[in-house]
Amino acid sequence: MSFPSSVRLVEVGPRDGLQNEPEPIDTATKLALIDRLGLAGIRHIEAASFVSPKWVPQMADHREVMNGLERREGITYSALTPNLKGLEAALECGAEEVAVFGAASETFSQKNINCSVAESLERFAPVLERAKQANVRVRGYVSCVLGCPYEGEIAPDKVAKVSKALFEMGCYEISLGDTIGTGTPLKAKRMLEAVAKEIPMAKLAAHFHDTYGQALANLYAVLEEGIAVIDSSVAGLGGCPYAKGASGNVASEDVVYLINGLGIKSGIDLDALAATGHWITQTIGRPNRSKVGVALSKK
């Protein structure tokens, strides 16, 4: 296999990166972050999550965020919508793309969205149908593809089964998430091989966390297999509330540095992205987990 000529980064920092912050982050800061990311060349930004404030209080201002965006041409601003109620609210705010969130682990599904994997897929059916009516694209997430905090190892065929179900329901792209960051390059390749038997590689994305410091190595492995879409979070912000000890997504700055070094195009200004990571971590008082970002900020 050879590397793709270009990679599309899906920036999840404004949603996945900020959703677990314990102290409220004002809407203006979130909007400034999204705009800075767009100016740095990011063309796909997950901006908000239309979930109950009871469960994710940090995302309670989802309407204000989506309505307050300075929408720039050529940028997709998406939102997580786990159910029909969330989708309707997102549509009212002009969302042009939404996402649903499933799991390859039964236990994680119960802990995360309070239902079985099969029940979660049933819940998504009306969301996909309504989105299609509204001409809004739906992206599908599958979590725990390389391990579960409750079940341990997850068989690749389980990942393939859930991914195929979401794809056949109408999700245009399936993002494969190493939620607890325990995957290794060979495991990542094996998992991807199983999923790619059911879904075209061009319809798959990698969403890897860096808990064990393996995210970049895992991304290199799946890039070799043909993955050309990568989810990442500026400054490595984020984590998972249902996966104890899981650190954030792989840092966007580190991913861009990697693919630049491989001669892969992204259209992203690394210096501007690093400056954005430095700014947001300083603003919210969090450590910058991007090694590249920290290095560039010291120049």
Residue 254 CB partners (closer than 8 Å, separation 6+): 216, 232, 236, 290, 291, 292, 293
Q: Distances in Å between the alpha carbon of 71 and those of 79, 152, 273?
A: 14, 41, 18
pLDDT at 244 over 70: no
Q: What is the pLDDT of residue 239?
A: 62
pLDDT average, residue stretch 117-130: 93
- 100 assigned to some structural domain: yes
248: pLDDT strictly greater than 90: no
Mean pLDDT, to the nearest integer, of 240-244? 50
138: helix, strand or coil: strand
**Alpha carbon distance 143, 249 (integer Å):** 13
Give the lowest-confidence range in 27-36, 101-110, 232-241.
232-241
The mean pLDDT value for 55-60 works out to 92
Q: Would residue 240 show up in a list of annotated catalytic residues for this protein?
A: yes
Strand partners, 10: 231
Question: Phi/psi of residue 189, each to 5°?
Answer: -65, -45
Contact 17, 56 (CB under 8 A): no
- Asked if residue 128 lies in contact with residue 171, where contact means CB atoms within 8 angstroms, the answer is yes
Average pLDDT, whole number, for the chain?
A: 94
Examine residue 1 and state whether it is found in any structural domain, yes or no: no
Whole-angstrom distance, CA of residue 264 vs CA of residue 217: 16
pLDDT of residue 22: 86
The pTM of the whole model exceeds 0.85: yes
Structural domain tally of the chain?
A: 1
**CATH assignment of the domain containing 273:** 3.20.20.70
Task: Report DSSP state, residue 250.
Answer: P
Instruction: Provide the pLDDT for residue 1.
Output: 64
Q: Which two tokens stand for residue 228?
A: 């050309």
CA dist., res. 150 & res. 143, Å (int): 13
**pLDDT at position 242 over 80:** no
Confidence band of 2 (pLDDT split at 50, 70, 90): confident
Is the residue at 160 inside a domain? yes
pLDDT of residue 240: 52
Whether the predicted pLDDT of 45 surpasses 80: yes
**Residue found under tokens 């325990």:** 182
Q: Would you say residue 246 has pLDDT above 80?
A: no
Give the percent of the chain with pLDDT over 70.
97
Residue 3 placed within a domain:
no
The size of the chain, in residues, is 299
pLDDT given at position 115: 84
The Cα 272–Cα 27 span in angstroms is 22
Instruction: Assess if residue 2 is contained within a domain.
Output: no
**Burial (0-12, 13-18, 19+ Cβ within 10 Å), 57:** middle
Q: How do residues 18-32 score in pLDDT, each as one tens digit? A: 998 888 999 999 999
Residue 110: per-residue pLDDT: 87
- At residue 171, does pLDDT exceed 60? yes
Backbone angles phi, psi at 174, to 5 degrees: -115, 120
Full domain range(s) for residue 215: 8-297
The pLDDT value recorded for residue 111 is: 82
Give 247: exposed, middle or buried? Use CB within 10 Å, 0-12, 13-18, 19+.
Answer: buried
Q: Which of 93, 144, 171, 240 is catalytic?
A: 240
Name the CA dihedral angle for 158, 163, 168, 172, rounded to a multiple of 10 degrees: 180
- Report the relative pairing of strands 204-208 and 229-232 from DSSP bridges: parallel
Using CA of residue 166, residue 170, residue 173, residue 179, what is the dihedral sign?
Answer: negative
Q: Residue 239 carries which side chain, given as an amino acid letter?
A: G
